[in-house]
Amino acid sequence: MPEYVYIFRGVESQKQELSPDQMQRVMARWSKWADSFASRGAMRGGSRLAPEGSVVDSNQLVSDGPFVESKELVGGFFIVECDSLEEACELAKGCPGLDHPGMTVEVRPSRR
C-alpha cells in the first residue's frame, strides 16, 4: 500500500496561544487522531520536531536554523498508509491542528 507523509506546519505558533489546560485537550485530540491510523495498521511513523536545529547548504556550510516564518516551521510529521492521495488528503482534514489559523498539513506521496 502506498505511503504518504503528513508534514505539519505552523504548529509552534499555536502552542504559544494555549493555556496548559487547552494544550492538554489539544494533545488528547492529536493522540486520538494518530490512534485512528494506528488502529487500522496504517501508521508507519512520525514525530514532533524541536524548533531548533541546523541547516547544511550546498557548500556544506552548517549554520544554526531553521530560520523561517513561524507559520512555515515544520513542527512534526506522520508517515501513513492510504490507498490514494485523495484518501490521504481526506484523512488529513481530520488533523486537530487545522482548527488553528495558520496551521497546514502538507500531504506528500513517498517514492520508496
> What distances in angstroms separate CA 102 from CA 1, 55, 58, 88, one per listed residue?
31, 24, 30, 20
In a domain, 41, yes or no: yes
In a domain, 60, yes or no: no
Cα angle for residues 31, 32, 36 (degrees, 5° grid) = 115
**Mean pLDDT, the chain, whole residue set:** 86
In a domain, 81, yes or no: yes
Reply yes or no on whether the pLDDT at 94 is more than 60.
yes
Q: What is the structure's pLDDT at 97?
A: 87
In a domain, 59, yes or no: no
Tally of structural domains, the chain: 1
Give the global pTM: 0.81
In a domain, 7, yes or no: yes
Domain hosting residue 83, numbered range: 3-51+68-109
CATH of the domain at 18: 3.30.70.1060
Question: Using one digit for the tens of pLDDT, what is the confidence trace for 42-77?
Answer: 999 999 888 778 888 788 888 876 566 555 678 899
In a domain, 17, yes or no: yes
